Each structure stands twice: as structure tokens, then as C-alpha cells.
């Protein structure tokens, strides 16, 4: 289906590659501040998607479309990938991060639907509903083959106790089942509060009558249920997977069903999807749905609304609510941390213009109140400022850390609550083969950002516009000579700060000037007596 052709103008092209709820994308349709061009083309092959992606700014998918490295490389304008759902295993996150593309998902919108589907699958499995239905539809009235088991009093093992796992447990308790739950983040206290028993995967395998998995597919969870685990289970155990294909080893599950160890399995997800040729589907004990966990009107509307709102938020504010490949900042914290983003970036940008040598190490220290926050986004902004000189707009807060580490820069973050008289202080230090430089900045209440220290010199400089950073020997006349030379070049000084380590020692001048200086102007000033170094810095 095609609704609008791609345009090459400066509109924001939003390309929807999987079927999404039309009500859910209503926020995109009614947005008037942004010039959004919504294009819907579903069911494309990889080649077709690659051929259409070049001018796309936002790619919106569910789980069908594979957003591979090749797709990302072909997408020259892509800024954001939206996943209308939870799992992002269909998106090459490494490639997206390397290219500075933000990935957002909609983690909450389909929780209920997936939990309800899991319960429906478990009940159907216990009572052979799909098999009995099938027989009856084929004219067979068979009441003997489909004797089921009750859920009441049985033990359900829930592996992965996040959003969906918890909701499944609530509902299964309604069926009067006993719940054993495993999640690396589940504490005894929380388990008790939720009315479940905390257990290990092995304990679940040994004790459970039904086992359902609700983890993401990760290296750690791949083949989580395998031959060894099946061997530990009760005879006649029933298995449910409405999370991701691959969490359960499909070959081992097949063997365990054929051997009679496992009485049946209910599967919504498969290693290869569409799973039209999966040998598990040949077994009468296996009931299955084609990845329908999130397929309800409510979930589809909800996840599409969530990603649509994040797209709009991103283009209006530069921030998103549900980032996958950058640290998420709770809403209530964002307002407090956001002003520091720019400060951190400016400190990084300052240092990038102070040295010409390759940076080997960056030490960022956070002092005062700011040290109470998750400072990773601030560090990313500092690194972005540092790299911008050489990477231009290709660097952003998504890929700044990756790009820094890729070129071998060691990054250290330090936190301390004492800020030497400031409420907050961010200090960035860089080390190169031969040099060490540092700059510190703060946010002054009501007055905005200030650079308060350059190397060991105390200053008070607004980090905006054009600066001249002059190092000189502390001798009479140096300041006057610099001012005169700049005046000769028609360069107006707006403010000037001076500092020195000791009388007659090394001193610095930090000048804010009204115009950009040329290399020639810099040389002109640098030739002056007692001037050791002159650097132009634009912030
Ligand atoms: N079938 C479908 O249509 C749908 C499938 N899903 C899938 O369901 C799964 C769960 O989704 P949510 O509950 O929303 O995610 P979630 O992130 O809220 O929960 C996942 C939980 O798995 C836990 N976990 C991670 N590694 C683990 C390990 N080695 N062992 C045990 N637990 C581990 C995490 O700590 C987390 O608590 C995901 O794979 C998601 O993609 C989600 C929605 C619909
Ligand atoms: O988009 C869908 O229907 C799949 C949902 C899903 O698997 C997820 O959200 O992880």
C-alpha cells in the first residue's frame, strides 16, 4: 500500500514499513508544527526497502521488517528508528548506534495483550482447544482424545519477570496457580509483595507443571530451555513461548515432545518467521499462533501512539521518552539534567579547539548536585563536543561514546559531591601524548552557563560565540599589546578575563570577541613579545 510518494524537499520523511494502527499514527497525521510526510509501504523485500530508504528521516517498523546494517547504510538521512512494540531484535542496534541513529520502542503498550495471549495459549494448551476445534470443524465429534488438565493448583514457572511476566503471574494467580518466578532482578521482597515464589531456572524446571518464558532474546537467554533443562523437568510438563523464538531450543523441544517428556507446547514465536516450514508445527501436541501476542486493536493503537509521540518529541525537543540505544532519563529528572547537556558539550568543544594532538584519554568529573544524576548522557554530550570538530554533524549523543572508544579514547567518569564553592561543577580533562588540558564549567542560578576554570586559572566566561585564549608570560604590557593588535585588525573585544599562577609566571587571557579571527590574525597576535600561545575558540 502506498499513500504518498517520497519527496526530496526539506520535509521530515516518516516511512512506515509494517502495518500500524491508523488511529495510532493519528498524532503524526495531525501534527502541524512539523512538516511530516508520512509514507506507508508495507511488505517490502530488503532490496525494495534499501532502494527506498535514502531520503527517509524516520523508519517505523513492527517485528516483520528487518532493519539490517545494509538498510541503515543506505539510509543517508535516517535519524530515528521507531519500533512499535517491545523487542528490537529485528533492528541492528550496533549499526544504528554507529551511525548515530536513535532507536525508540514502545515498551508498555502491548504488555496486557501479550499477557492475555499467554494465558489464552496456556488455557488452550491445557484443554486442547485448537485440536478439538480443528477436529470438530472437520466433522469429527471426538470427546475422548481431548481430555485436558486443570490449571488450578498447578505450578507455573515464569522465566523473565518483567512487564509481561508479572502480568502473566497476576492472571495465573486468578486461575489459582502457584507461581515460581525467575528474573536476575527479582528480589525476595518484590516476589513476596507480588505473591510469587522466587526460584532459579533449575528449581522452576524441576517443580513446574507449566513453564512460560518472558525474556528478551539475548546471548544469555538464547537456548535458555534446552536438552539439559528438559531432562530436569517433570514428565508431562507444558511449555509456552510468547516472547521470542530461540529462547527455547526448537530441536530440543521437538525431541522432548516426541519422547513424551513434554506433553505439549504453545508457541507464538519462532526462530525463523514466518514459520511456515517449522517441524514443531507437524506435532499434534504443539499449538501455535503466528506472532499474535501484540495483535489487538488496543495494543496496536497504544504502541503506534507511543512511537508517534516520540518522533514528534524528538524533532521538537531533541529528546525522546523510550530510547533503546541511549540511556533513558526519567521524565522528572530530564528537566534538571537538560541544561547541563549544553554545558558539557561546550566544555568538550572548548578542549577540542585547544589541542591539535590526538586525544588518548578523557576524564570527566561531576561535582555537587549534578553528581546525583545518571551522568552518562552528560558524558555523551561532552564527548560530542569534543568530537564535533572532526566529525561534524555525524556525531551525536547516541554515537559519541562509540566513536570515541572506536578511536581508542579511554573515558573515565568521576563523581564527587563537593564542588569547591559551586552548586555544580563539571570538569573535563583531556590527555594527549604530550599534553594535558582541562576546563571546568557550572550553571549559575538564573545566569546560565559559565566557564569557571581553564587549566588551573580561575575565570568567568560565558561559553558562547568567539573566544581568544592567549597564554603569555606575566609581564607588564602584554594585555595592552594584545588589545592594540586586535584593534588594528578591527577585532572588537567584548570581555576580557586574566589569570596567572604567580607574579611573573605563566598567565592567561580569555577574550570574548565580536568577530571570528583568521589564522593570519592569530599569527599577528602570537608574534608579540611575551605571548606564548594564541588559540581561537568558537562555542
Ligand atoms: N509475542 C509478542 O507479540 C510479544 C512479545 N514480546 C516479547 O516478550 C518479551 C518480554 O517483554 P517485556 O516483559 O515487555 O520485557 P521486559 O523488559 O519488561 O522484561 C524482560 C525481563 O527479562 C529479564 N531477563 C533478562 N535476562 C534474563 C535471563 N537471562 N533470565 C531471566 N530473565 C531475564 C529482564 O530482567 C526483564 O525483567 C520480550 O522478548 C518481548 O520482545 C513482547 C510483546 C509482544
Ligand atoms: O509488532 C508485533 O506484533 C510484535 C510485538 C512483539 O513481538 C514485541 O513487541 O516484542
Q: What is the pLDDT of residue 1?
A: 43
Of the candidates 105, 65, 40, 35, the one whose C-alpha atom is nearest the C-alpha of residue 310 is: 105
Q: Which CATH class name applies to 11-108+297-317?
A: alpha beta
Q: What is the pLDDT of residue 337?
A: 82
Q: Which CATH class name applies to 329-464?
A: alpha beta
Residues 6+ apart with CB under 8 A from 373: 333, 336, 337, 366
- Provide the residue ranges of all domains of the chain, joining segments of one domain with +: 11-108+297-317, 111-288, 329-464, 465-539
pLDDT of residue 289 exceeding 90, the answer is yes
Can you tell me the mean pLDDT for 262-288?
Answer: 97
List strand residue ranges (DSSP E) for 72-189, in order: 80-83, 102-105, 155-159, 178-182
State the catalytic residue, choosing from 54, 70, 273, 298. Answer: 273
Instruction: Output the pTM of the full model.
Output: 0.80
Burial class (CB within 10 angstroms; exposed 0-12, middle 13-18, buried 19+) of 406: exposed
Confidence of residue 419 (pLDDT cuts 50, 70, 90): confident
Instruction: Please give the distance, rounded to the nearest whole angstrom, from the Cα atom of residue 243 to the centre of ligand 2.
Output: 9
List strand residue ranges (DSSP E) for 203-350, in order: 210-213, 237-241, 262-267, 286-288
Instruction: Please give the distance, rounded to the nearest whole angstrom, from the Cα atom of residue 321 to the centre of ligand 1.
Output: 19
Q: What is the pLDDT of residue 5?
A: 56
CA distance 304 to 20: 7
Whether 11-108+297-317 and 111-288 share one fold: the answer is yes
pLDDT of residue 331 exceeding 80, the answer is no
**Residue 156 CB neighbour total at 10 angstroms:** 26
pLDDT of residue 529 exceeding 70, the answer is yes
Q: What are phi and psi of 357, to 5 degrees?
A: -90, 160
State the catalytic residue, choosing from 62, 83, 117, 244. Answer: 244
Query: Is 291 assigned a catalytic role?
Result: yes
What is the CATH topology of the domain spanning 465-539?
Alpha-Beta Plaits (3.30.70)
Residues 6+ apart with CB under 8 A from 93: 103, 324, 325
CA distance 157 to 165: 10
pLDDT of residue 525 exceeding 60, the answer is yes
Q: Percentage of the chain with pLDDT > 90? A: 77
| Ligand 2 atom nearest 105 alpha carbon | 9
Instruction: Please give the distance, rounded to the nearest whole angstrom, from the Cα atom of residue 122 to the centre of ligand 1.
Output: 18
Instruction: Mean pLDDT check: name the lowest of 145-149, 225-229, 285-289, 476-480.
Output: 476-480
Of the candidates 37, 32, 39, the one whose C-alpha atom is nearest the C-alpha of residue 11 is: 37
- The predicted-structure confidence for 155-193, as pLDDT tens digits, reads as follows 999 999 999 999 999 999 999 999 999 998 788 888 999
Rg (CA), the chain: 30
Q: What is the pLDDT of residue 7?
A: 56
Query: Is 244 assigned a catalytic role?
Result: yes
pLDDT of residue 306 exceeding 90, the answer is yes
| Ligand 1 atom nearest 89 alpha carbon | 41
Mean pLDDT of all residues belonging to the chain: 93
Confidence of residue 288 (pLDDT cuts 50, 70, 90): very high
List ligand 1's pocket residues with C-beta within 6 A.
85-87, 107, 110-111, 114, 159-165, 182-185, 214-216, 218, 220-221, 242-244, 268-269, 291, 293-294
Answer yes or no: CATH 3.40.50.720 is held by domain 111-288: yes
pLDDT of residue 421 exceeding 90, the answer is no
pLDDT of residue 130 exceeding 80, the answer is yes
Q: What is the pLDDT of residue 188?
A: 87
- Looking at the DSSP assignment, which residues form a beta bridge with residue 509? 470, 498
Q: What are phi and psi of 499, to 5 degrees?
A: -155, 160
3-class DSSP state of 510: strand
**Which residue among 267, 293, 296, 297 has the greatest number of ligand 2 atoms within 8 angstroms of its CB, and so is best to mutate?**
293
Q: What is the pLDDT of residue 2?
A: 44
pLDDT of residue 407 exceeding 90, the answer is no
DSSP result, 162-180: SHHHHHHHHHHHHTT-EEE
Confidence of residue 535 (pLDDT cuts 50, 70, 90): very high
Confidence of residue 8 (pLDDT cuts 50, 70, 90): low
Instruction: Please give the distance, rounded to the nearest whole angstrom, from the Cα atom of residue 209 to the centre of ligand 1.
Output: 21
pLDDT of residue 123 exceeding 80, the answer is yes
CA distance 19 to 41: 9
- The predicted-structure confidence for 332-379, as pLDDT tens digits, reads as follows 777 778 889 999 999 999 999 999 888 999 999 999 989 988 888 899
- The predicted-structure confidence for 33-87, as pLDDT tens digits, reads as follows 999 999 999 999 999 999 999 999 999 999 999 999 999 999 999 999 999 999 9
| Ligand 1 atom nearest 87 alpha carbon | 41
State the catalytic residue, choosing from 291, 401, 437, 450. Answer: 291
Burial class (CB within 10 angstroms; exposed 0-12, middle 13-18, buried 19+) of 412: exposed
pLDDT of residue 93 exceeding 50, the answer is yes
| Ligand 2 atom nearest 269 alpha carbon | 7
Amino acid at each position: 500500500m502506498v499513500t504518498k510518494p517520497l519527496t526530496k524537499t526539506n520535509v521530515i520523511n516518516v516511512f512506515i514499513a509494517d502495518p500500524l494502527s491508523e488511529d495510532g499514527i493519528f498524532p503524526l497525521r495531525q501534527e502541524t508544527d512539523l512538516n511530516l510526510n508520512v509514507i506507508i509501504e508495507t511488505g517490502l523485500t530488503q532490496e525494495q526497502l534499501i532502494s527506498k530508504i535514502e531520503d527517509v528521516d524516520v523508519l517505523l517498523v513492527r517485528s516483520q521488517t528487518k532493519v539490517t546494517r545494509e538498510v541503515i547504510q543506505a539510509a543517508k538521512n535516517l535519524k530515528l528508528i521507531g519500533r512499535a512494540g517491545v523487542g528490537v531484535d529485528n533492528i541492528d542496534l550496533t549499526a544504528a548506534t554507529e551511525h548515530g541513529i536513535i532507536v525508540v520502542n514502545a515498551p508498555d503498550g502491548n504488555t496486557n495483550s501479550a499477557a492475555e495471549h499467554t494465558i489464552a495459549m496456556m488455557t488452550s494448551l491445557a484443554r486442547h482447544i485448537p485440536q478439538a476445534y480443528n477436529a470438530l470443524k472437520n466433522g469429527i465429534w471426538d470427546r475422548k482424545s481431548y481430555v485436558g488438565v486443570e490449571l488450578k493448583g498447578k505450578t507455573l514457572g515464569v522465566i523473565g519477570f518483567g512487564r509481561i511476566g508479572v502480568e502473566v503471574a497476576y492472571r495465573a494467580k486468578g486461575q489459582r496457580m502457584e507461581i515460581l518466578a525467575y528474573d536476575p532482578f527479582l528480589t525476595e521482597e518484590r516476589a513476596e509483595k507480588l505473591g510469587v515464589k522466587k526460584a532459579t531456572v533449575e528449581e522452576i524446571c524441576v517443580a513446574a507443571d507449566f513453564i512460560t518464558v518472558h525474556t528478551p532474546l539475548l546471548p544469555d537467554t538464547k537456548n535458555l530451555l534446552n536438552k539439559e533443562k528438559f531432562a530436569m523437568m517433570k514428565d508431562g510438563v507444558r511449555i509456552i513461548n510468547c516472547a521470542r523464538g530461540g529462547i527455547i531450543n526448537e530441536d530440543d523441544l521437538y525431541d522432548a515432545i516426541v519422547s513424551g517428556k513434554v506433553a505439549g507446547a504453545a508457541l507464538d514465536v519462532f526462530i525463523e518467521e514466518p514459520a511456515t516450514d517449522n517441524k514443531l508445527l507437524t506435532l499434534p501436541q504443539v499449538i501455535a499462533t503466528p506472532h499474535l501476542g501484540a495483535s489487538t486493536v488496543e495494543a496496536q493503537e497504544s504502541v503506534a501512539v507511543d512511537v508517534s509521540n516520540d518522533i514528534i518529541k524528538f524533532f521538537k525537543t531533541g529528546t525522546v521518552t523510550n530510547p533503546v540505544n541511549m540511556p533513558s532519563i526519567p521524565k522528572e529528572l530530564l528537566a534538571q539534567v537538560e541544561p547541563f547537556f549544553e554545558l558539557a558539550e561546550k566544555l568538550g568543544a572548548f578542549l577540542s579547539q585547544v589541542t591539535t594532538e590526538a586525544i588518548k584519554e578523557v576524564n570527566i568529573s561531576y561535582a555537587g548536585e549534578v553528581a546525583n544524576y545518571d551522568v552518562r548522557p552528560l558524558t555523551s554530550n561532552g564527548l560530542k563536543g569534543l568530537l564535533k570538530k572532526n566529525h561534524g554533524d555525524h556525531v551525536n549523543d547516541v554515537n559519541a561514546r562509540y566513536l570515541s572508544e572506536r578511536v581508542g579514547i579511554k573515558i573515565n567518569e568521576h563523581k564527587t559531591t563537593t564542588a569547591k564553592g559551586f552548586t555544580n561543577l563539571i570538569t573535563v580533562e583531556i590527555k594527549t601524548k604530550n599534553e594535558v588540558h582541562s576546563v571546568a564549567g557550572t550553571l549559575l542560578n538564573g545566569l546560565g552557563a559559565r566557564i569557571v576554570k581553564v587549566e588551573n586559572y580561575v575565570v568567568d566566561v560565558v561559553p558562547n560565540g568567539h573566544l581568544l585564549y592567549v597564554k603569555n608570560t606575566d609581564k607588564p604590557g602584554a594585555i595592552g599589546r594584545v588589545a592594540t593588535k586586535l584593534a588594528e585588525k578591527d577585532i572588537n573585544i567584548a570581555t576580557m578575563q586574566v589569570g596567572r599562577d604567580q607574579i611573573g609566571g605563566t598567565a592567561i587571557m580569555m577574550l570574548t570577541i565580536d568577530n571570528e579571527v583568521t589564522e593570519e590574525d592569530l599569527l599577528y597576535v602570537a608574534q608579540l613579545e611575551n605571548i606564548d600561545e594564541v588559540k581561537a575558540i568558537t562555542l
